[in-house]
Amino acid sequence: MPFLLPVFIIVMLALSGLRVLQQYQRGLVFRLGRYQGTREPGLRWIIPVVDRMMVIDIRVITQDIEPQETMTNDNVPVKVRAVVWFRVVNPENAIIEVASYEDAVRQTALTSLRNVIGQHSLDELLKEQEKLSIMLGEIIDKVTEPWGVSVDRVQIKDVEIPKTMQRAMAQEAEAHREKRARIIKAEAEFEAALKLTEAATKMAQTPMAIELRRMQMLTEVGAEQNTMTIVMMPSEFVSAASAMVRLADKVGVGTGIAQK
């Protein structure tokens, strides 16, 4: 059956035009070099030999930016690493407008990273990494938008500074901690002095409070030294002395009268 051969060839050519696109893929069809349209996921058919399909992955792509040596605004050499997350939102522009969108995003991230670091000081780079990462992401996204690429996030993940600068920063941090410790100690002594002054004023107004405090101190000393202390109330000494003075006055007065 000679007529079956042409039919078989036609069927094989038709089957060769079948393409299967995954859910995360889009297919750009070029017919004789001209863009014809974008195919959605599923089973798709193109004209064999005449059409050519380029498949684009629209999932989020993670791009690791190699360490970049640059100078900060205060002339400190640093080495910075970053990570860029991006995805294709317009497959047509990603293929037609730029030769390799992944390499273009990486090169844009490299130059933008150096520019952003050069505009800020070392302290800002260390303390405000999240803010700088957001700024860097906005800059890259503005450049890559015409290419059909959207930058989801940029994160500065590593900042390496020279050894000498690390030692200087450690000494500075130690000096700040020592300063804070001295301030706290001085404040504590000042508050203690105020409390002692208040206590002395109160005790001066109440003589019995002084005697009670003395007894308490003697009791504490005895407890610490594991000894027994016999205490006589100062008021007893005062009473006895007062009685002796009065007795002496009476005796003196009586003797004077007798002599007269």
What CATH homologous superfamily does 61-161 map to?
Band 7 domain (3.30.479.30)
40: CB partners within 8 A, 6+ apart: 21, 26
Q: Which amino acid is at 116?
A: V
Beta-sheet strands, E only, within 91-201? 149-160
Structural Rg of the chain based on CA atoms:
46
Alpha-carbon distance of 130 to 81, in angstroms, equals 14
Per-residue pLDDT, 169:
67
Cβ count within 10 A of residue 176: 10
Q: Locate the DSSP E strands across 73-129.
A: 77-88
Task: List per-block mean pLDDT (blocks of 10 residues) for the chain, which spans 260 residues.
Answer: 67 78 91 89 87 90 86 84 92 90 91 88 84 90 92 87 70 76 86 81 70 70 57 52 65 48
Give the integer Cα–Cα distance in Å for 184 and 198.
21
pLDDT for 227 equals 56
Question: Does the model's pTM come out above 0.85?
Answer: no
Which residues lie below 8 Å from residue 215, measured CB to CB, with a gap of 6+? Answer: 231
Q: Which residues pair with 71 in a beta bridge?
A: 77
Check: CB of residue 30 under 8 Å from CB of residue 50: no
Residue 72, Cα to own-chain centre: how many angstroms? Answer: 20
N-terminal to C-terminal alpha carbon distance within the chain: 177
